[in-house]
Structure 1
Amino acid sequence: MKKYIYSLCLVGVIVYSCKTQQAAPATTQAETSVATANLSKEEMLKKGQELFTLKCGRCHGLPVPSEITVADWQPIMARMAPKAKLNADETNWVLAYVNENAKK
């Protein structure tokens, strides 16, 4: 009986872990450029700060942007943006925010 219960639990875990996720709709480069071009620099930095706080702070402590150089932010964002599920616009906004506040 115990083997049956353990087997049933194992199957349940496997089924749950294999559940497919719905993919986000893809945006074209033109759509990305238009959405970003319609924002002022202040709006872009504000959106970047909000996303940085919301999405990046969800999984770990937030780094202080002024403690990291612009050159170091590029690979960090390239690695972390997909994990935070940021689209191209959002990635650009966060990158603009951290670069604006990066170590000089």
Structure 2
Amino acid sequence: MKTKLIAIASVFILTLACSPKIQLPSEDKLPPPEIPMSPELVEGKTLFLNNCSKCHDLYSPKDFNAEQWKPIMLSMQKKAEISDEEREKIYAYLTK
């Protein structure tokens, strides 16, 4: 009986020792916390999601810098048929 108990305990301990370890992500690998947005930025994001996704996949705001977004926004404004005010709100969201 003792031998069986020792054998079972040994197998259990060996199984635990050989199992993959669970690692929690280190703090430097965690995504940055979500920064609360102003109502204008929320509206710009909503306009961006609703208008730009009609014709193509959405780009990440970080794909282009503020200077690169300017001509893109002017070109897309005509195609998406959005107002200057809406364009500025989307631009503010993209360059926040």
Query: TM-score normalised by the shorter chain: which range applies?
Result: 0.5 to 0.7
Paired position in structure 2 for 1:25: none
Paired position in structure 2 for 1:62: 58
Query: Map of 1:45-84 to 2, 5 A cutoff?
Result: 45-84=41-80
CA distance in 2, matches of 1:43, 1:86: 19
Name the SS for the 2:78 alignment partner. Answer: coil
When Rg is computed on C-alpha atoms for both structures, the one with the higher figure is 2
TM-score by length of 1: 0.55
Paired position in structure 1 for 2:5: none
CA distance in 2, matches of 1:88, 1:80: 11
Any gaps of 5 or more consecutive residues in structure 2? Answer: 1-36
TM-score by length of 2: 0.60
User: Aligned residues: percent identity?
Assistant: 32
Superposed displacement of residue 80, structure 1: 0.4
Any gaps of 5 or more consecutive residues in structure 1? Answer: 1-40
CA distance in 2, matches of 1:42, 1:51: 14
Query: Map of 1:1-104 to 2, 5 A cutoff?
Result: 42-100=38-96
> What amino acid maps onto 1:52 in structure 2?
F
> What amino acid maps onto 2:75 in structure 1?
R
Q: How many residue pairs get matched?
A: 60
Superposed displacement of residue 89, structure 1: 1.1
Displacement over 4 Å in runs of 4+: none
